[in-house]
Amino acid sequence: MGPQFSILVVCLNPGEKLKNTLDSIGRQTFTDYEIVIKDGGSTDGFLEGMKVELAKKVLVSGEHITVIETKDAGIYDAMNQAVAKARGKYVYFLNCGDLFYDENVLAVMNELIRENPSAHGIYYGNIYERLTGQKVTSNPRIDAFACYRNVPCHQACFYDRELLLAHPFCTEYSVRADYEQFLWCFFTKQYMEDVLFCYSDTMIADYEGGGFSETKKNRKLSEKEHQEIVSQYLSKAQIRKYKLIMWLTLAPVRTWLSRNKVTAGFYNRVKRMLYGGER
C-alpha cells in the first residue's frame, strides 16, 4: 500500500530553488508522503550535487524519494511522467520554486479528506502569489460557470491519482492542459459516482509566479487554448451566456486588477468577501 500523498516536483536546471522546495516539504508535520523529483535533463549540476544529501534524507528521516531523470516534451509531459511513477492515493504538484505555505498543509488536507471521503476527489484551497504578494482565493463552489470562468490552479489542488492516470494532462496544450484535465473531471461521467470537489479555506502554496504561462505571449495562447477546451465540454448556448456575463462584469478589467501589484490586494480582499467572507 502506498503513502497518502505523493509530492511531485518537476524541475529543469533548478539551482537553489530545488533545495528550498524540498526543505518546505521536509518541514511538514504530516509525514505519510513520498517525494517524486522529475528532472527533464538539467545541465546546471545542482541535482547531481544534491544526490548525496537526498540519500542521507532517505537514511536518516526515512523519507521516500524517487528521482526521475528523463527527457520530456514540456512541463505537462513531465508531470504525466511523475504521476506514472507516484504511489500515493493523492498527488500534489509542488514544482521547483514553489513552497508549502506552512508546515501544516498536509495535516490540514489529510483531515479534509478524512472528513469528506470520496472514491474520487479533488481537494483544494488557496494560494499565496509571491509575484503580487497577495493571497488568491479559489472559488469554493465548482459549477459549469466556474469551470468556464476559472478553476483552481494546480498549485492549490490535491488530485486523486486515479483521475490523472485515467485522463493524463493533454500535451497538445502548452499552457492550459491542467485546465482541460480539471474540466474532464467535472464534466465526464467516467465513474459510477461524480468526482467530489472539496474546498478548504486554507493556504496551500507559496506560489512563485511569473512562469511560462504568464508571459505576455503565452497569455494570448492561453486565451486560444481556453476557447478550444471549453468548446469540448460546454454547449454553444452556455458559452454565449457565460461570455455575456463576463463582458457585463468587466472581466478584462478584473484580470488587470488581479495582476497589478498596486491593486491586487484590494481585488483579492473583495474576491474573498464575495466567496463567503474574509477569514
CATH assignment of the domain containing 195: 3.90.550.10
Q: Give the span between the Cα atoms of 35 and 66, in whole angstroms.
A: 6
pLDDT at 278: 40
The residue type found at 272 is R
Residue 156 lies in a domain: yes
Q: Is residue 78 within 8 Å of residue 36, measured between CB atoms?
A: no
pLDDT at 170: 97
Q: Give the span between the Cα atoms of 24 and 268, in whole angstroms.
A: 25
Residue 277 lies in a domain: no
Residue 242 lies in a domain: no
pTM value is: 0.86
Using a 10 angstrom Cβ sphere, with 0-12 exposed, 13-18 middle and 19 or more buried, the burial of residue 205 is: buried
pLDDT at 269: 60
Specify whether the backbone of 55 is left (phi greater than 0), alpha (psi in -120 to 50) or beta.
Answer: alpha
Residue 271 lies in a domain: no
Number of domains in the chain: 1
User: Across-strand partners of 127?
Assistant: 136, 205
Residue 276 lies in a domain: no
Residue 94 lies in a domain: yes
Residue indicated by cell numbers 540519500: 55
Q: What is the pLDDT along the chain (279 residues), one digit of tens a residue?
A: 789 999 999 999 888 899 999 999 999 999 999 999 999 988 888 888 887 677 656 544 556 889 999 999 999 999 999 999 999 999 999 989 999 999 999 999 999 999 999 989 999 999 998 887 888 889 999 999 999 988 999 999 999 999 999 999 999 999 999 999 999 999 986 554 689 999 999 999 999 876 555 666 778 899 999 999 999 999 999 999 998 988 777 555 555 455 556 555 655 565 555 565 443
Residue 262 lies in a domain: no
Instruction: State the residue range of the domain holding 159.
Output: 5-237
Residue 11 lies in a domain: yes
Radius of gyration of the chain (CA): 19
Mutual angle of helices 216-233 and 177-187, in 10-degree steps: 20
Q: Is residue 10 within 8 Å of residue 84, measured between CB atoms?
A: no
* Among 21, 10, 204, residue whose Cα is nearest residue 98: 21
Q: Give the span between the Cα atoms of 55 and 36, in whole angstroms.
A: 13
DSSP-derived pairing of the beta strands 121-129 and 134-136: antiparallel
User: Across-strand partners of 69?
Assistant: 39
Q: Give the span between the Cα atoms of 190 and 45, in whole angstroms.
A: 43
